[in-house]
Amino acid sequence: MTFFKKIAVSFIMAAAMAAVSSAAFAEAEGAAVVKAAAEGTVAKIEEAVSLLEKGGDKAEIIKAINDARQLQKEFRYELTERQRQKANDKLRIARQEFENGEVQPAEATLRAALASFKEMLDQYNAAH
């Protein structure tokens, strides 16, 4: 009987350790995805601003803005969620302004969105 108890206890301990360690790995992977999304979003907005300053192709600028809007969806951090939504609205408005030929307002709106995303990334990095 004691032999079976030892086996049962060993099995339960092994299962508990496996559950805890896999949760820890999943958390690290999730944090990496969020950080990559935040950094990618900032990079794409910087690319769009750079293209706009250089007078780049309209399709390339719109693609960079759309890529940033797709990447920001993965940047989920509870403390900056509302700010992320507002910054995404700025990206949408900047794209519309650019499509309507309003280059100066589009650039200003893009710069505001960039500043907002950089601030969110700094907050995320400080907490992690």
Question: Residue 42: its pLDDT value, please?
Answer: 95
Identify which of 95, 4, 6, 5 has the alpha carbon closest to the alpha carbon of residue 51.
95
User: Which position has the token pair 């092994």?
Assistant: 14
* 31 assigned to some structural domain: no
Q: How many domains does the chain have?
A: 1
Report CA-CA distances (Å) from 7 to 4, 13, 19, 21, 58. 5, 10, 18, 21, 68
pLDDT-based confidence at residue 51 (cuts at 50, 70, 90): very high
* 49 assigned to some structural domain: yes
Domain that holds residue 96: 36-127
**Six-digit token pair at 34?**
């969020």
pTM, rounded to two decimals: 0.74
pLDDT-based confidence at residue 28 (cuts at 50, 70, 90): low
**Six-digit token pair at 35?**
């950080």
Question: Residue 23: its pLDDT value, please?
Answer: 52
CATH number of the domain bearing residue 73: 1.20.120.660
pLDDT-based confidence at residue 6 (cuts at 50, 70, 90): confident
Mean pLDDT across the chain: 86
* 27 assigned to some structural domain: no
* 64 assigned to some structural domain: yes
* 30 assigned to some structural domain: no
* 100 assigned to some structural domain: yes
